[in-house]
């Protein structure tokens, strides 16, 4: 079974980080390297990390230029064959998530995989408020506003070395651009795991206001241009509209 690295980026995350790390370190049936990159927290995050230090493969705290710069720094330090990124607000819902992901990568044709995601209430982190069923992949889906949930997106580390990491000029669209680059531009081998892989606390920058949504739309358009791709006229307006159904869907079971 392939080795895996899970990257967590932190900045003043003391309220949620323990749940995140416990879900990573509690995974069974797979070799997991936990990598934490802190941006210089001023709350109790660093003290909390001290209690986990012996079980974490890498812990560094240094100033950075934002979320995706921190992820890029952590990618330089990761050593697993497959890399996942789990934000400090998020957690794996059960201890077999990574073993099921790793089983897909036993097929050498699989270079990335993704699954479904549940948004949960921000305070308690348990009540499901939105369900993102990603569905199987076909390249044309991107033209209708589709994208996989980035917290469920696992990538062979060799792809980051071959095609590059996150573009820092795209703000919150950096993960979208990465997925466009790998899946649509380079057509890497992809697999879909049809189950909930991550619970993510609700709330997000790109959809917090109309101004932020318009800014995100501009960055999304730039993501296509950077890859020499041309969306349909309606592609980038379909992208936020696809979220509407997530408020009414619920995972099975």
* Mean pLDDT in residue range 19-28: 98
Q: Over the stretch 92-132, which tens digit does the pLDDT of each residue have?
A: 999 999 999 999 999 999 999 999 999 999 887 789 999 99
Residue 32 in contact with residue 6, Cβ under 8 Å? yes
> Which long-range contacts (C-beta less than 8 Å, at least 24 apart) are formed by 44-47?
44/14, 45/10, 45/11, 45/12, 45/13, 45/14, 45/17, 47/14
* Mean pLDDT in residue range 139-147: 97
Instruction: Tell me which of 70 and 212 has the higher pLDDT.
Output: 70
Residue 63 in contact with residue 34, Cβ under 8 Å? no
- Residue 157: count other Cβ atoms within 10 Å of its Cβ: 18
| pLDDT class of 205 with cuts at 50, 70, 90 | very low
Residue 22 has pLDDT above 80, yes or no: yes
Q: Would you list the DSSP string of the chain?
A: ---EEEEEEESS-TTTHHHHHHHHHT--SS-EEEEEEE----SSHHHHHHTTGGG-SEEEE---SSHHHHHHHHHHH--SSEEEE--TT-B-SSTTHHHHHHHHTTSTT--EEEEEEEEE-TTTS-SEEEEE------GGGGGGT----GGG-EEEHHHHHHH-S--TTSGGGHHHHHHIIIIIIS---EEEEEEEEEEEES--STTSSHHHHHHHHHHHHHHHHHTT----TTHHHHHHHTTGGGGT-----
For residue 87 the two structure tokens come to: 């934000």
Q: What is the CATH number of domain 4-247?
A: 3.90.550.10
Range in 116-120, 179-183, 210-214 the model is least confident about: 210-214
> CA 117 to CA 126: how far, in whole Å?
13
pLDDT score, position 206: 45
* Start-to-end CA span in the chain (Å): 28
Burial (Cβ within 10 Å: 0-12, 13-18, ≥19) of residue 149: buried
Residue 5 has pLDDT above 60, yes or no: yes
pTM of this structure: 0.94
Residue 132 in contact with residue 212, Cβ under 8 Å? no
pLDDT score, position 210: 63
Query: Residue ranges per domain, the chain?
Result: 4-247
> CA 91 to CA 119: how far, in whole Å?
11
Residue 43 has pLDDT above 50, yes or no: yes
Residue 243 has pLDDT above 60, yes or no: yes
pLDDT score, position 204: 52
Residue 209 has pLDDT above 70, yes or no: no
* Mean pLDDT in residue range 152-166: 98
Phi, psi of 112 (to 5 degrees): -140, 155
pLDDT score, position 253: 59
């Amino acid at each position: 079974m392939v080795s895996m690295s899970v990257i967590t980026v932190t900045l003043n995350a003391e309220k949620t980080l323990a749940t995140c790390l416990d879900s990573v370190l509690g995974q069974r049936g797979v070799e997991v390297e936990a990598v934490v990159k802190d941006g210089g927290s001023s709350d109790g995050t660093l003290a909390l990390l001290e209690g986990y230090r012996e079980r974490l493969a890498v812990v560094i705290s240094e100033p950075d230029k934002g979320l995706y710069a921190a992820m890029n720094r952590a990618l330089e330090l990761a050593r697993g064959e497959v890399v996942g990124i789990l934000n400090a607000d998020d957690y794996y819902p059960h201890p077999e998530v990574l073993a099921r992901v790793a089983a897909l990568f036993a097929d050498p044709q699989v270079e990335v995989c993704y699954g479904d995601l549940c948004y949960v209430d921000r305070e308690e982190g348990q009540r499901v408020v939105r369900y993102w069923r990603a569905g199987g992949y076909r390249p044309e889906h991107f033209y209708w506003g589709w994208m996989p949930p980035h917290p469920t997106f696992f990538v062979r580390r060799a792809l980051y070395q071959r095609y590059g990491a996150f573009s820092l000029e795209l703000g919150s669209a950096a993960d979208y651009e990465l997925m466009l680059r790998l899946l649509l531009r380079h057509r890497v081998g992809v697999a879909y795991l049809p189950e909930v892989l991550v619970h993510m606390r609700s709330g997000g920058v790109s959809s917090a206001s109309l101004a932020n949504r318009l800014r995100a739309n501009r960055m999304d358009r730039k993501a296509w241009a950077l890859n020499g791709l041309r969306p349909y006229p309606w592609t980038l307006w379909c992208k936020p509209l696809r979220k509407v159904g997530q408020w009414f869907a619920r995972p099975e079971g």
